[in-house]
Structure 1
Amino acid sequence: MNKKQLIRLTLSAAITAILMSGAVMAQDNQQPQDANPNALQPTKKNPQQATNAADTKNLQQVVVTGTATSGGVKKIDASYSVTTATAQQIKEANPKSSADLLKMSPGVYPESSGGQTGANIEVAGFPGGGDAPYVTFQLNGSPLYPMSTLSFMDNSSMFRLDDTIDRAEIVQGGPAVLYGNGQPGVTANFILKQGTEVPSGDVGLTYGSEGMERLDGFYGFQIAPSWYASIGGFYRKSDGVRDPQFAADNGGSLTATLTHDFDNGGTLMFYARDLKDHNQFVTDTPILNPSKGQFSDYPGFNALTGTFGSNADRYTTIQTTPCYTTGCTPGSRNLDLAKGRGADVHMFGGNFDMDLGDGWSISDKFNLTGGQMNTISFFSTGNNPTTLASYISSAETADGLPAGLTATAKYANGGTANMNENVTTQGLWYVHKNIQAISNEFHISKELFDGNTLTFGNYEAVYNDHDTWYLGNNVLLQAKSNPNPVVVTLSNGTNTYNLTNSQGLASGPSTAVYEAWNATNTAFFLTDSWKVGQWLFDAGVREEHQEANGRVQNTATGDLDNNPYTLYNNGSTYLVAGNTYIPYSKTAPSWTIGANYEFNDNMSAYVRINDGVHFPGFDDLRGDPQQPVQKIHNMELGFKLQNDWSYTSVSVYRKLFYNVPYTTTTDTGQFTIDYGSETKGVNLQTTVKPFDHFTVALTGDYMDGHYTHDSGCTPYTTQAGLAACTSINGMVLQRQPKYQGRVTPAYEVPTGWGGMKFWLTYEYVGARYGDLIEQQPLGHYYDLSFGVSADIGQYWDLSLQGTNLTNQTGITEGNARLFGFASTDGVILARSIEGREVNFQVKYKF
């Protein structure tokens, strides 16, 4: 972070703290005023954190995400799509990761097959194709990081679910384009539990069939009149369903809050959250693909439990700089796969809401985030497995070696390798990311007349990202789970050629990056909400400016040791003196108009139109400094109904995208496509209760999306190996299912000692393509999960839950390194959902 931005960040934090402290002193010395009757206030005398959080299937529930005022809006009056979940419902969903929870919102498809982090999250109608550019995670209304996605870092990777979370609100588009970082896709807001007058908390122990042991806890209490505090978190260690022979997940989080309630109904709340968690990231693995959409296990590699991680390949040292002269010391990095793709981040933030009287109210939210988001993981090279003999022969040809060489192959940890066994290369990638960010969002609202409230606001974010990358570093491995690295030398009796080094490294870095980015986003917005009889109208406009400046160090390619016989590092990329500077400055507007009609207390309908924008990320600008601002136009109609036996929320939409870039690399070079898309779809949430104690919940969507506005012909290689090109116009949106749905029947059994609940969830994900030109069909799959819980008396909870009970193979992505056809000889590199996992928890509540 440069000096000017550091001063700006420090001043912003100081001004915020001074304003909040001044407000505390001023309000504590004022006489009580009438509280805002629309404000959402925690119930401090009751351990239940908020009265509206008790039943998320209630149209009278208040939601605070995507609204202009801190008081929020009732679900029945919300003219946009919002999914809510209590802490108990989050637990019963048993998500694999924080990203996996988003499938509760219809139309969101998280590919959580890679582990706790690095999920690709697709939003119906948003042409993402990987990572999570259209998903923002918030904590108490503030984005965790102002930019929703960077390479190797999406918002969900910075967040873990635990008992400190009171509830979640997931909003798709709508008025969310006006607030925070203006996310036009999905905004997932997680609201923390706070202390209460009556001390309360819980302690939970969980054991999982994948060798997982986890401790959860939370405690909320009063420290003085009108002052409350809480502390909680988790620690977990797990071998993982895909056991790498070392801890696949290892770490935890600690969260604390401090809250002060003013006499007139205002609230000041601070929170601090520390997360340190190391997680295995699972890349594409070899899978048999005998026909389109059909998949089965590759020999030696179970699609549900296999991983390239092992004790044999856990530790590796890579060379990063040349060393040509005697006595020089080459630059190097010692890599440990157990560090994985995790998070070491710290967050501090606060919320201040105050009714000033005479129709005036203010709200302020700020968040500071800092730490590291590092990656040490295998990534697919895009090459299917082959026999060791074939691999050596191809390498000899590629390197132009003389004929008649004798090959010797052994394992890195000893023993002679079999020339007929299948091998593969995996890229051992190292990414070090150091991030800092501060964001602040201020609202001031005035009730102009009865039912009409005008809000003016400002969002400011100052943030940076300093990266060091060494990608490539291909390791020659057995093509099986928990493999050994293979070491290969070639000799003619006089000269010895090292095809790999002693660790099995078959190449040095193919990409070396050192970059430092600094950015600011400034937005001003004006919104108006007008209640007229049974109608609620709202409209708003936002003007946002993004300014980014990057410094990218220059690179060169060559031999790292000036030795032609060490073939493994002859074509490496490394950093050299000098930098390239990339400036970026763009301004773009967003707007929304919505109307909701309340037929009665339990039924409403709405219509909404909005335009949102998506600014390019740092990595986008490094590839193309002239990246356009993406524009998203959304039209939506919705209907909500609740009665004694059912709850239904359904919406139909049409989404238009413009200026979406996509860059692909082929044998003939790198090509960038600039395209758009058009999507029509239906989202559905419903719960029916045909008789006492029995419910059936259904969540799903239908999505019909296609690419548009592609004026070029993108080259690719056909299945026959021929060169071809095609336009993507009319192709279905990459990696997005046309149909997906989840149905959960549940039965509750009241007992004299408490109660029990049984539920079963059937999840169906429809056929998709892994690429833009429909050459990688991923097929469809289903997942069956279950849950049993028992409340014993006032204090004890027991629960047993499991996922993928029938061990279904479900492909979430194809070969992400290839454009076009990816299956060769009936084998594809792809990634499946994890195999069966069952966990049991004992929780004591007090």
Structure 2
Amino acid sequence: MNTQRMTRRLLVTSIAGLLATSLYAQDAAPAAPPAPQQAQGATPPPPPPQNKNTTNLDQVVVTGTAAAGGLKKIDTSYSITSATLDQIREFNPKSSADLLKMAPGVFPESSGGQTGANIEVAGFPGGGDAPFVSFQLNGSPLYPMSTLSFMENSSMFRLDDTIDHAEFVLGGPAVLYGNGQPGLTANFILREGTDTPSGDVGVTYGSEGMVRLDGFYGFKVADGWYGSVGGFWRKSDGVRDPQFSADKGGSLTATLTHNFGDSGSLMFYARDLKDHNQFVTDTPILNPGRGQFDGYPGFDPLTGTFGSKANQYSWIQTTPCNTPGCQPGGQGLNLGKGRGADILSLGGNLDFDFGNGWSISDKFNFTGGQMNTIAFFSTGANPQTLSSYIADALVSNNLPANTTATAVYTNNGQAADMNQNVTTQGLWSVRKRIQGVSNEFHLSKEIFDGNTLTIGNYSAVYSDHDTWFLGNNMLLQAKNNPSPIAVNLGNGDVLSNPGGFVSGPSTAIREAWNGFNTAFFVTDSWKVDQWLFDAGIRAERQQASGRIQNTATGDLDANPTTLYNNNSQYVVAGNSYINYKKTAPSWTVGVNYEIQSNMSVYARINDGVHFPGFDDLRGLPSQPVNKIHNMEIGFKYQADWIYLDVNAYRKLFYNVPYTITQGNGQQFSFDYGSATKGINFTTVLKPFEGFSVQFSGDYMDGHYTHSAACTPYTAQDGSSQCASLDGMQLQRQPTFQGRLTPGYEFPTAWGSMKFWVTYEYVGNRTGDLIEQQPLGQYHDWSFGATANIGQAWQVNLQGTNITNEIGITEGNSRLFGFASSGGVILARSIEGREVNLQVKYKF
């Protein structure tokens, strides 16, 4: 498959289709309004996006439905959470992934920084990355595949004032549309221009040394044409200060919209994101008892990081040479580049009503650029003294125990303390060049009064070209902002080189992948009095092909005395090829009954599918398509004093492949299933004027099923063990999580004030599949205050984790089973206290 040619064709076809239809629509539309009468049975076009009260059942949502103009919340027979721009700001998320906590049943582990979050969806056995979460921009997936290694969807997106509102859908009818995500679909809708020019400019200062500028301006271009431009720029030292900029960059977004009177609209957008962010790996943390954690000496779990001025710049060896004394090829790395995004997204949306019950909708998106990672990753080994580390290295290299050694810090050449604790961290380099284009077309016809049939197609062409060099273990002080350590042995051998590296790459990958997905779907919705029925089916085919360059393992410099690079992996000539083709169906049936105008109940059943990603296929080319079966019922109610949305579910998984690598390097693969039942809830109480209490969260009871009778693994003490997964709690997912937010808003002589605090509780979890890495529970507090001064000025003061609570989000992901040794565990906590102040001017 010539993917570049197919990409160009799909992109050109999408744009041409939008333009041709818009030109036809422009010719067909009356030259001058009087507003035309709505044709019998026609559905009006969607109104321009506006900030609305999302805790209102009359609010219109557009995600997860084929209905032109969307559906009112009271009519949706599925779980959907929405948030306005103001609500997003008040939530004060640490990242775009952190915002997903607004959707009950979603637990993002955003402790790693702005990017690289693990995102768990209740009842979906993920265990890392975010395979069951898709980010959309104006209804189009940012990238057609929800997760690649080192690139889940949230890493490609930043929050700013160009977002009008967000909608989060958990499964349900979302399995029919876009990339058919059976988990969470997070759709972000952009602000557009209006007849009256308006905008805002905001400046934010954060306690972690953050300075940020936000802005947006929407305006009228000409009659029927509207534009907008906005974005952000910021620079931050980070709560975990690496002694260089932890976060640096920004984005710029522009839109152009044309309205066809009452018949519809055409909208184009462009979004350029260039942002570099520190990624935080597991750090040493004291683990005195099961589920109990405390700070490790010299390394604060809330503010510590392995980044420092001493190790910001490094050189890694990647290419061997064949003569003694030669210099291997390699590449320079700058930790300041971190794990970030340098991507451009272009897209468009067309909605048009032809009258007589006929309407069309088309969405397209192109995203391309680089998603690189330069960061430390844990090697899985707990800290030990430098002298003990050298002694172990002598044994592993078959050298006499009495061999002497000298150790110096690489940044200043001073002698290193042999009694201090040290650790090794892998400095990983991952270069990713991605490209994806998708198009989704709907054709709808009202068959008879209240019944609308929709047929459509979703197609996507995408690629990923990668070069990885993993391993590159560096010997570091086991403390915040450490220095690398170079070690020379008395016999002339070099244990760690002048850069502090004790190994070369343990994994070298150079690969190129191309993918193509196409799906056809048919849906029907039928409104009968207070009942709304909907059903749909989708058939999707995925084709993927990969070229993976061959590798070899050996000495990079033909010198056995340089111990640090004697067992390195590197790429060599030749390739292996993988081709994959699968077709799988998805379907859904839902019913909603409007008991009263402010109360409804619903039920839904659906089957979704999850196609394997490129990285899945590299590990197991015959990877099956995951089948996800979901059943849910829900209740929605609204009155002057309460808003209530409760959803109960049961989710079943089958034939999920899993591979573990044992201590001897051998791999063991097996399949498992899972069964989960739970409740998601969102409640807002307003007992008296100005005061509100919001409580949201979920309870989940999820366990593994249908696993191998006894899965073998190597325990931390080196012994061979085995364990059954059956009945074990789904890893990394809390049984209960909840967020309680009381707030009070009141008028003043000069404007208004609002105060709120949020208490967050995350229940017990385990970091592995066999419940030997207890992560405990944690809670934290955040606060916010907003002053609206007149019509133009706004001042916002907000803070997170104000009591500096330790909250473990992941354990030692390099181990299968028990991970604590000597009262120490490698794990990652949420960040410490952060407070920021923003001044915003609206015009």
Q: State TM-score, norm by structure 2.
A: 0.98
Instruction: Look up the SS of the partner of 1:29 in the other structure.
Output: helix
Check conservation: 2:325, 2:558, Cα contact below 8 A. no
Q: Are 1:203 and 2:201 counterparts?
A: yes
Q: What are the superposed Cα offsets for residues 190-218 of structure 1, whole Å, 9 maximum, x if unpaired?
A: 00000011000000000000000000000
- CA distance in structure 2 between the partners assigned to 1:87 and 1:35 by the alignment: 32
Using the alignment, how far apart are the partners of 2:435 and 2:9 within structure 1? 15
User: In the alignment, which residue of structure 2 is the partner of 1:602?
Assistant: 598
Cα distance in 1, alignment partners of residues 714 and 289 from structure 2: 19
Q: Give the conservation status (yes or no) of the 8 Å contact 2:502–2:564.
A: yes
1:525 and 2:530 aligned: no
Aligned to 1:802: 799
Choose the corresponding residue for 1:573, options 550, 561, 569.
569
Partner of 1:679: 676
State the match for 2:540 in structure 1.
544
Pairs within 5 Å for 1:184-263: 184-263=182-261
Preserved contact between residue 35 and residue 265 of structure 1 (Cα < 8 Å): no
Q: Indicate the SS of the match to 1:771.
A: coil
Write the letter of the residue equivalent to 1:481.
Answer: N
Q: AA paired with 1:42?
A: P
**C-alpha distance in 1 between matches for 2:261 and 2:46:** 12
Structure 2 CA distance for aligned equivalents of residues 10 and 700 of structure 1: 44
Q: Could you tell me whether the CA contact under 8 Å between 1:613 and 1:630 is conserved in 2?
A: yes
Measure the CA separation in 2 of the matches of 1:130 and 1:5: 29
Task: Note if 1:355 corresponds to 2:353.
Answer: yes
Secondary structure of the corresponding residue to residue 214 of structure 1? strand
Q: How does 1:379-778 map to 2 (within 5 A)?
A: 379-413=377-411, 414-492=413-491, 496-668=492-664, 669-718=666-715, 721-778=718-775
Alignment correspondent of 1:333? 331
Cα separation, 2, equivalents of 1:233 and 1:463 = 27
Which residue is 2:828 aligned to? 831
Q: Report how far residue 39 of structure 1 moved.
A: 3.9
Task: State the distance in 1 between where 2:475 and 2:259 align.
Answer: 61
Structure 1 Cα separation of the partners of residues 732 and 302 of structure 2: 20
Cα drift, residue 734 of structure 1: 0.2
1:70 aligns with 2:68: yes
Q: SS of 1:56's equivalent? A: coil
Say which of 776, 784, 788 aligns to 2:785. 788
Q: Which amino acid aligns with 1:637?
A: I
In structure 2, the residue corresponding to 1:11 is in which secondary structure?
helix
Cα pair 1:35 1:266 within 8 Å, conserved: no
Q: Any idea what SS the aligned residue of 2:388 has?
A: helix
* 8 Å CA contact retained: 2:46, 2:68: no
1:19, distance to aligned residue in structure 2 (A): 2.1
SS in 2 for 1:8: helix
Secondary structure of the structure 2 residue equivalent to 1:695: strand
Q: Quick one: which of 339, 342, 352 aligns to 2:340?
A: 342
The alignment partner of 2:339 has SS state of coil
Is the partner of 1:320 in helix, strand or coil?
A: strand
Following TM superposition, by how much is the alpha carbon of 1:331 offset from its aligned partner in structure 2, in angstroms?
1.9
Secondary structure at the aligned position of 2:682 is classed as strand
Residue type matched to 1:590 in 2? Answer: S
How far residue 320 of structure 1 moved from its aligned partner, in angstroms, is 0.5
Could you tell me which of 101, 107, 110 is aligned with 1:109? 107
- Deviations, residues 603-659 of structure 1 (Å, cap 9, x unaligned): 000000000000000000000000010000000000000001000000110000012
Cα deviation code 1:298-331 (max 9, x no counterpart): 0000000000000001111001011123796632
36, 39, 42: which one pairs with 2:47?
42
Code of the residue aligned with 2:701 in structure 1: it is D
1:722: Cα distance to partner? 3.1
* Matching residue's letter, 2:688: F
* Residues 7-156 of structure 1 mapped to structure 2, 5 A cutoff: 7-32=5-30, 33-34=36-37, 38-39=43-44, 41-43=46-48, 49-50=49-50, 53-156=51-154
SS at 2:369 equivalent: strand
Question: What does the per-residue CA deviation read over 1:245-288, in whole Å, with 9 as the maximum and x for residues that have no partner?
Answer: 00000000000000000023310000000000000000000000
Q: Is the 8 A contact 1:35 1:355 kept in 2?
A: no
Contact map agreement 2:104 2:682 (CA 8 A) in 1: yes
Query: What SS is found at the alignment partner of 1:58?
Result: coil
Letter of the aligned partner of 2:229 in structure 1? Answer: I
SS at match of 1:301: coil
Cα deviation 1:739-791 (Å, max 9, x = unaligned): 00000000001112110000000000000000000000000000100000000
Aligned with residue 270 of structure 1, among 243, 268, 271: 268
In structure 2, the CA distance between the partners of 1:823 and 1:58, relative to structure 1 (3 Å rule), is same
Distance 2:38 2:343 in 1: 37
Distance (Å, rounded) in 1 between the aligned partners of 2:716 and 2:359: 64
Report the equivalent of 2:838.
841
**Identical-residue share of aligned pairs (%):** 70
Determine the C-alpha separation between the residues in 2 that align with 1:5 and 1:228.
35
1:17 deviates by: 2.0
1:39–1:72: 8 Å Cα contact kept in structure 2? no
Q: Which amino acid aligns with 2:46?
A: Q
Letter in 2 for 1:457: G
Partners in 2 of 1:135 and 1:649 — Cα distance? 22
Q: Partners in 2 of 1:383 and 1:472 — Cα distance?
A: 13
2:33 aligns with: none
- 1:105-156 Cα offsets, whole Å, 9 max, x none, are 0010000000000000000000000100000000000000000000000000
Moved more, 668-677 or 104-113: 668-677
Report the Cα distance in structure 2 between the residues aligned to 1:761 and 1:261, rounded to whole angstroms: 41
Q: Is the 8 A contact 1:28 1:263 kept in 2?
A: no
Displacement after TM superposition at 1:234 (Å):
0.1
For 2:214 and 2:686, locate their aligned partners in 1 and report how far apart those are by CA, in whole Å. 33
CA distance in 2, matches of 1:342, 1:191: 22
Deviation at 1:28, TM superposition (A): 2.0
Q: Is the 8 A contact 1:69 1:443 kept in 2?
A: no
Asked if 1 retains the 8 angstrom alpha-carbon contact of 2:164 and 2:191, the reply is yes
Post-superposition offset of 1:38 = 4.5
Task: In structure 2, give the amino acid aligned to 1:21.
Answer: L
What's the secondary structure of 2:28's corresponding residue?
coil
CA deviation vs aligned residue, 1:42-90 (integer Å, no higher than 9, x gap): 35xxxxx42xx41101101110000013311110000000000000000
For residues 61 and 262 of structure 2, what CA distance do their matches in structure 1 show? 21
Give yes or no for contact 2:98–2:110 (8 Å, CA) kept in 1: yes
CA 1:136–1:225: 2 relative to 1, 3 Å? same
Question: Would the aligned equivalents of 2:466 and 2:510 in 1 still touch at CA under 8 Å?
Answer: yes
Deviation sequence 1:149-196 (CA, Å, 0-9, x none): 000000000000000000000000000000000000000000000001
| Paired letter, 2:610 | H
Long gaps (5+) in structure 2: 31-35
Corresponding letter in the other structure for 1:556: A
* Structure-1-length-normalised TM-score: 0.97
Amino acid at match of 2:691: F
